[in-house]
Amino acid sequence: MIVERRVELRFGAESREAGTHTNLSAVRQDGRCLWVAGDETATVERLTAVLDGDGRVTGYEGQTTVALADLVPLPAGPGEEADIEGLARANGWLWAVGSHSLKRKKIKPGQSEAKARKRLATVVREDNRFILARLPLVTGEDGLPAVVRADGDRTAAVLGLDKDSITDLLEDDPHLAPFLSIPSKDNGIDIEGIAAHGDRLYIGLRGPVLRGWAVLVEIRPETDPGDPRRLRLLPVGDGGDRYRTHFLDLGGLGIRDLCPHGDDLLVLTGPSMDLDGPVRVVRWRGAATADAAEIVAADELETLGELPYGDGDDHAEGIAVLDEPGTRLLVVYDSPSPERLTADGGVVADVVDLG
């Protein structure tokens, strides 16, 4: 997959201090703007496109930060990160999903063996990671998209406040329940992608990968009639179940992001464990339809190409289809290499042509 050009995403001083620009984990286009999120805060960011004379994007700037706690209640309050790993946009809503993962503490350089062993034995749960937030989109006074707490009877709402998170839903799942107590980087539960199509959300899991098969969870959220600030899940299909799982043969890779393209889903794939690559973009045709298969073999998936990755850096984490002639995909990277960081506080993303 050839990188056609690179564009700079410019962030303000506060976000650079928080490391948002070097921890990008999600991206979605919205007209002239991009919604992006990093995995070290509980915010989403809006950037506005800079266009050349031919209407092509050359960069994004004018960052606006939205604190999730200003719009929805968070289980651990505004001070704890939400580890936002996916953004989706459809039908006047912006969706943000946390990783829903446990984390094992890292060994720090210079620690004694005893402290290193203790850290590797310590698993931490951070409750803000276990949310799915739905935010109403409106046109702001500047003519650009904005998210608000309420727009008429459309309200910002959240799933995951009281034992009703996506992982709570999976407690009895025969495939996924055994992985709920395992940290994400140990092949445990780790949400890293979300796509919206119609009344459905498609949730992509980086892990677990089950004997080479990646997992996608399909849900139908709506406003809880008892509390407009909360979401509930409707049945998926005729059996009354509140979710449906799909298994994709991605050759041992997990799902790192999802992006709708018509009735298809573009799937960013990468290692489930703490490895650099390979990283590929795959098309699952007809994924966002009621009769989409639950077992998707490798020959039913179209590999569109491979993306670059570094040695300990340049981890592709988010993809978004750009509103340009042809099919062009914007790719943002977590842990960018020094070559991607610009002198004026920006970070460089790639634009690839899918043909």
What is the per-residue DSSP string for 136-153?
A: EEEE-TTSSEEE-SEETT
Q: What is the pTM of this model?
A: 0.96
pLDDT for 168 equals 97
Nearest CA to 12 among 349, 344, 348? 344
- Judged by DSSP in three states, 70 sits in helix
Q: What tokens appear for 317 in the block?
A: 């984490």
Contact 268, 309 (CB under 8 A): no
Contact 128, 81 (CB under 8 A): yes
Distance of alpha carbon 82 from alpha carbon 319, whole angstroms? 20
pLDDT for 115 equals 94
- CA 122 → CA 103, 106, 188, 207, distances in Å? 9, 9, 15, 20
Altogether, the residues listed in the chain come to a count of 355
Distance of alpha carbon 230 from alpha carbon 173, whole angstroms? 24
Q: What single string gives the DSSP state of each residue in 300-355?
A: GEEEEEE----SS--EEEEEEEESSSS-EEEEEEES--GGGB-TTSEEEEEEEE--
Listed in sequence order, the residues at least 6 apart from 21 whose beta carbon sits closer than 8 Å to its beta carbon are: 9, 11, 15, 38, 336, 341, 345, 346, 347
Q: What tokens appear for 32 in the block?
A: 């002239």
pLDDT by position in tens, the chain (length 355): 889 999 999 998 888 888 889 999 999 999 999 999 998 889 999 999 998 887 788 899 999 999 999 999 999 999 899 999 999 999 999 999 999 999 999 999 999 999 999 999 999 999 999 999 999 999 999 999 999 999 999 999 999 998 999 999 999 999 999 999 999 999 999 999 999 999 999 999 999 999 999 999 999 999 999 999 999 999 998 888 999 999 999 999 999 999 999 999 999 999 998 888 899 999 999 999 888 999 999 999 999 999 999 999 999 999 999 988 778 999 999 999 999 999 888 999 999 998 7
